[in-house]
Structure 1
Amino acid sequence: MLKVEHLMVNYGAIKAVKDVSFEVHTGEVVTLIGANGAGKSTILKTISGIMRAKAGTVTYEDRVINMLSASRIVQLGISQVPEGRHVFEGLSVLENLQLGAFTQPRGFDVSTALDEVFAQFPVLAERRKQDAATLSGGEQQMLAMGRALMAKPKLLLLDEPSMGLSPIYIQKVFDIIKTIHAQGTTVLLIEQNATQALSIADRGYVLASGEVKMTGTGAELLANKQVQSTYLGG
């Protein structure tokens, strides 16, 4: 489904991503783990068209998407839940969700899409008229995920979905990710909570200093002593 080959991305003179290659197959959960500054978020932003690569290619369903606009990439079936959630303050929960469907073609059934999101996130249905800025951190994360799902993605990019959340909400978020995956959505996950990420991942890639240092199944990386000592606190 997604193939990233020899990706290089710079912030000015800083080489944030040096030479990264990986694949995501249809129906998988794939996770990228690594310390802050490893280049994980930059990779997701490049896939979704927010940033431009200096070199390398991003291929989605046999089409190179490097130079496409972010809105066009959403139309092709890729949605991103950004780090920090970035809900629209001053707009209601309902309005935030409706904005998630702005790239859908004329005739798209927004009402049915909303019903599906509300079924997935009942708390959003209860707060549909509430200003998004007044939600708790966990509720805002659910709103950001629901907003991304309004675009009916084939591939969902999740950037640090558990960041800043209480343990109860962290577990809720990972349970929701598993449900979304079980319903047929392919997931590419970036997550500081490496134990949780690897526990639900089919495969994982370990990044350091803008490069892939290790790859394997989620179970293999969980059991790897180097990964345990560096990323899992063991």
Structure 2
Amino acid sequence: MLSIKNLVVNYGMINAVRDVSFEVNKGEIVTLIGANGVGKTTILRTISGLVKAASGEISYEGENITRHTPRNIVASGIAHVPEGRHVFKGISVKENLELGAFLRNDAEGIRSTMERVFEHFPILKERIDQDAATLSGGEQQMLAMGRALMAKPRLILLDEPSMGLAPLFIKEIFSIIELIKSEGTTVLLIEQNAKMALTVADRGYVLETGKIVLSGTGEELLNSDEVQKAYLGG
């Protein structure tokens, strides 16, 4: 479904991503793990068109999207939930969700998708007219994920969905990630909580200083001595 080949991304003189290649197959949860600053977020931002690649190719469903605009990438079926949530403050929960469907023109379908979002995140229905700025961190993360789902993506990019959340919210967020997959949406996940990420992931890749150094199934990486020592406290 998604193929990254020899991706190189630079920030000025800094080589943030170095010749990275990996694949995400339809129906999978694939996770990228690694320390802060190794290029994980940059990879997601490049896939979604927010950062331009210096070289390499990003293919989605057989089409080269490396130079596509963010708008066209969303229209093709990819949604991005950024690190830090970035909900739109000063407007309501409902209006935030409606903005997630800005490229859609099927009013009935949008209403149906919003009801599905409320099934996933009941607290958002309770807060439907509330300013997004007044939500807790966990509720804002749910809103950011719900907003992305409003686009009806076939592939969703999740950047650090558990960052700064209480353990109860973290457990709920990961349950929703598994539910999203079960409903047919493919997931590419970046997550500092490597144990949780590898527990739900079908496959994973380990990044160090902009390069992939290890890959395997989620279970294989969970049981890897190298991964346990570096990321799981083993």
Which TM-score tier does this pair reach, normalised by the shorter chain?
over 0.9
Alpha-carbon RMSD = 0.8
Equivalent position amino acid for 1:145 in 2: M
Equivalent position amino acid for 1:200 in 2: V
3-state SS of 1:109 partner: helix
Shift of 1:107: 5.5
2:140 corresponding residue in structure 1:
140
**CA offset digits 1:145-164 (Å, max 9, x no partner):** 00000000000100000000
Change (3 A) 1:223 1:48: same
C-alpha distance in 1, partners of 2:108/2:18? Answer: 40
1:182 corresponding residue in structure 2:
182
3-state SS of 2:18 partner: strand
Structure 2: gaps of 5 or more residues: none
2:222 corresponding residue in structure 1:
222
Question: Does 1:38 find its partner at 2:35?
Answer: no
Change (3 A) 1:186 1:195: same
**CA offset digits 1:13-35 (Å, max 9, x no partner):** 10000110000000000000000
C-alpha distance in 1, partners of 2:191/2:38? Answer: 12
1:191 corresponding residue in structure 2:
191
C-alpha distance in 1, partners of 2:29/2:56? Answer: 23
Question: Does 1:100 find its partner at 2:87?
Answer: no
Shift of 1:110: 1.6
Shift of 1:109: 2.3
Normalising to structure 1: TM-score of the pair?
Answer: 0.98
Identity %: 61
**4+ residue runs over 3 A deviation:** 105-108
C-alpha distance in 1, partners of 2:89/2:149? Answer: 19
C-alpha distance in 2, partners of 1:222/1:109? Answer: 40
**CA offset digits 1:153-202 (Å, max 9, x no partner):** 00010000000000110001001101111111100000000000000101
Structure 1: gaps of 5 or more residues: none
C-alpha distance in 1, partners of 2:136/2:85? Answer: 11
Normalising to structure 2: TM-score of the pair?
Answer: 0.98
**CA offset digits 1:126-150 (Å, max 9, x no partner):** 0000000000000000000000000
C-alpha distance in 2, partners of 1:211/1:122? Answer: 39
3-state SS of 1:184 partner: coil
